[in-house]
A and B are shown apart, each in its own frame.
Chain A
Amino acid sequence: MILGKRLRELLKNFMRFGAPRIDVMRLKVAEPLKRLFSPEGLTGLCALSSFIITMLILFFLVQQGLPIIQEMGYWQYGQYVTLLLKEMGLSDYLWLHALIQVNGNIIIGFVNFVSGSTWDPSSYEFGILPLIAGTITVVGGALIIAVPIGILSAIHLSEYCPSKIRNVVKPVIELLAGIPSVVYGFVGLAVLVPYIANIFNLRSGQTALAGAIILSIMILPTIVSISEDAISSVPKSYKEASFALGATHFQTVRKVLLPAAISGITASIILAVGRALGETMAVLMVCGGVANIPPLSLELFFTSVKPMTAAIAAEMGETAVGTLHYSALFGVGLVLFIITYIVNFVADTINARFKKKFGGVR
């Protein structure tokens, strides 16, 4: 026969009436279908949604950011044409060469994009090194302020603080985490910036210092609460043993508890870094927005900077869709996404190791 043996059997099964039949469809299609439409399958689809969202974000960032990367992959050509046009006084026509679709090497383009040291969209210079330097300055400053205060405060809350006061202070610190970032930025703009201008005799108080201070207040709750959890979840036997050997409280904290909780504390710091890197509105309002690489001198924190997030938020409103500037902003977004992904990945790994060691919080 033309039809195969299995197919003939299938047809025979279909044709039978009334008799119990082995239903091939049930085994091959209905079973997985049943599993899909069971509670397990449906909730599994929901769980898949977060993965789909992440992939969608990545897809659109790459799709919209590709033009600038391709353009800069042909860097020498683009740079030459830009210089030529500027020399001839035709800067008005710089946008023309952006129309020319150059399919440059993506890797070279990405490297040029990230390492270019001028960010001047109106002259078609899209190097994001000043933006990265701005982010690093502000986040670094915030960490310098927040990490010591946060860890010491966590030690205080978990070890030294009477529990009645702790029950009041911990919710207050969580309230601090709940305040919207625009309010932080606004209070910084209205109160902190004039204050800094007054104290340090600057023209404008919108500096990296203001950004670092505001950002440090914003990441403190993260550091304090997670570190406090980490220190509290060190098993009591460690403390008991240390006291039994005659150590004072301070020595116990310093030599036993801190080293034991170091994984959790490190995870909290890295999570705080992640949060600080992604912070937009507060740094947008207080950092000044001048895209220059701050000088590595005593003036480092007294110059105006433009972090990556602030650059995107500020310039997106005045960019036309589809221009090279638009694509460059998506490129900055892509770089941000990659950086925060790496930071989160590292934090998760450390967190997992810590949980394995101590089995969760009290």
Chain B
Amino acid sequence: MIALNLPRKKIAIIIMFILAMVAVSMFIIYPVIYIKPQADLQQSLGLYTGQSSDTINIAGSTTVLPITLAEAPLFHAATGINVQVSAGGSGLGYSNVIDRISPIGAVSRSPKSSELIRASANGVTLHLNAVALDAICIIWNIPGQVNLKLTKEQVVNIYSGVYTRWNQVNSSLPAETIWVIGREPNSGTRESFEKLFGVSATKINQEVTNNQDMVFSVLGTPYSIGYCSFAYTQYVNTAEIANDSGTFFAPTRENIRSGAYPATRELYYVTNGVPIPGSIVDMYIKFVLSPIGQSAVEAAGYVAIM
């Protein structure tokens, strides 16, 4: 036998140390070897890997973020489910669903072709649930001007660099250089803007990363122009945009709700396929589309879709 000849105290220390090592390794190994529930069972509950049965993680577009944050406390009060909210852009919202990190993501644009291909390669069907109406508003800052009417073509020309001075847009405007502000490449708002107005190439002077920064920059820079989501337009001037028949419409709630304003878009929660009835995701979407949820959408500054 191994005659260690150790006093009792040292044996006690050794035993405690071994126990501590075992405890630590159980602590670390347990989450790794934890046998996760079957994939279909999880999917039927609307769960994904890394989520317990009472959490849901909604990440994605910063445009949809206020809506999610307005809904989360109400949803929690109604169902007791923990809603974790973070930002990251529409790209991240799609990635989370495609890579099966989360069953739901917040997006403000329809998927790109690359995202569709990645989704089908992963066996994921991207299903868009529209929950709110939003509009891309052209915001501007021209000292001394009260209102501004623009056609979509004029916006395209400003953003592609054809018009460099305000008097090229409209001869009644001063001959100042236009300071063009745009959004970062990952932005869903930018995608929507480019799609709704038909902008292909952009030549911008400044890039900002969210709607509030855009409003700030426009407010702080004379003779600047930018675009943002409807919810941020309370303190800044918006331009009236002409629709295809030439009538100018201002971005107001009525015009957006009726569809008269020509640059409206829907805000979505993207899910993997149609939400399974009874799953958490389904509960959440139904909650957002209910009267309580839609009033929260309005409170967040957007326009209810129902």
Contacts and interface: CB of A to CB of B under 8 A. Distances in A.
Interface of A: 23, 25-26, 29-30, 33-34, 37-38, 42, 92-93, 95-96, 120-122, 197, 203-204, 289-290, 314, 317-323
Interface in B96-112: 96, 98-99, 101, 112
B3 interface: yes
Contacts of B88: 317-318
Interface of B: 2-6, 10, 13-14, 17, 86-89, 91-92, 95-96, 98-99, 101, 112-114, 118, 179, 185-186, 205-207, 209, 217, 220-221
A38 B96 CA distance: 49
Given A26-B4, A92-B114, A317-B87, A37 B217 contact: no
B217 A30 contact: no
A12 B91 CA distance: 73
B92 A320 contact: yes
Given A92-B114, A93-B114, A42 B17 contact: yes
Given A37-B13, A92-B112, A23 B92 contact: no
Chain B CB within 10 Å — which of A37, A121, A321 has the most?
A37
Given A95-B118, A320-B95, 11 more contacts: A23-B3, A25-B2, A26-B3, A37-B10, A37-B17, A42-B17, A92-B113, A203-B179, A203-B205, A204-B217, A320-B98
Contacts, number: 66
Contacts of B13: 37
A96 B115 CA distance: 11
Contacts of A96: 114
A153 to B, nearest CB: 36
Contacts of A34: 4, 6
Contacts of B185: 120-122
A42 B10 CA distance: 12
The 6 closest A-B pairs by CB, nearest first: A320-B95, A122-B185, A318-B89, A318-B88, A318-B92, A25-B2
Nearest to A123: B185
Contacts of A290: 207
Contacts of B118: 95
A34 B6 CA distance: 9
Contacts of A318: 88-89, 91-92, 186
B60 to A, nearest CB: 10
A290 B220 CA distance: 19
Given A29-B2, A30-B4, A95 B17 contact: no
Nearest to A38: B10
B99 A95 contact: no
